[in-house]
Amino acid sequence: MQAIRSILVVLDPGITPSLALKRARLIAGVTQSHLHLLVCDKKHEHAAMLEQLCSELDREGFTASSHQAWHDNPHKTIIRVQQAEGCGLVIKQHLPDNPLKKALITPEDWKLLRYCPCPVLMVKTEKPWAAGTVLAAVDVGNEDTEHRVLHASIISHGYDIAGLAKATLHVVTAHPTPMLSAADPTYQLTETIEASYRAQCREFQEEYDISDDRLHVVEGPADSLIPNIAHQLGAAVTVIGSVARTGLSGALIGNTAEVILDSLESDVLVMKPDDISAHLEELAAKA
């Protein structure tokens, strides 16, 4: 996160004060990143509001720019501006989606998480980050190169956020449920599965300096476990990533981040592996 030189802050004129801008100020205050403010609207003019916000940021010691744009829909607009401005992080406030509408139409924020090449911070709460808890969700059981690179990025950003907010980083990882039909007896009992999984975690803990009291190894599906652990810890930020599988319309982020977006009681930072980000960069360039 320290390497981010420019942050795209998506503003909703109907929501004041902007939680997205509040988080952007916090991050830019440490990273010295430039802030580019964006309003996605094709009907109403917001130049005066944007000019006033930029003036306020300038007086506070930030560098800022802004503009209003519209390209078919919100997520396409955000990605096009992110690419044009070279922003390394997108910050947007997320409001809960209507469950019925969500079942029929893919929400715009889901599409942003799927297609945006850079990390996206979805701001959901006014809960202060300072002296709080940052939760990083990883899958230690997957040790292929793609997952290891993604894990490194998740943990690195988790530590960065914890550092700038003087918070504590915790890590959650889920181990498989028992399978009575498994040929290997190790995978037939919860106790043996957890013991085997914790052994795998030792190397991970040593590599990333994660103490036992900050590692949470739990059993079950990630989409329910991550929100539960985040709730127990009172996490202010949850950092999550996903590895896409080949053949899914190019590079699509897995649905765990989408499913837990509304159930998490924290802000959510979503990461992607470098190869997926590169592929999405190519798609955005062709759009």
Structural domain spans, the chain? 1-93, 125-287
Same fold, 1-93 and 125-287: yes
Top-level class of domain 125-287: alpha beta
Top-level class of domain 1-93: alpha beta
**pTM of the full structure:** 0.89
Burial zone of 238 (CB within 10 Å; 0-12 exposed, 13-18 middle, 19+ buried): buried
Q: Encode pLDDT of 179-224 as tens digits.
A: 443 445 444 555 666 677 778 888 899 999 999 999 998 887 888 8
* pLDDT value of residue 2: 67
Residues in the chain predicted with pLDDT less than 50, given as ranges, are 179-183, 185-187, 244-254
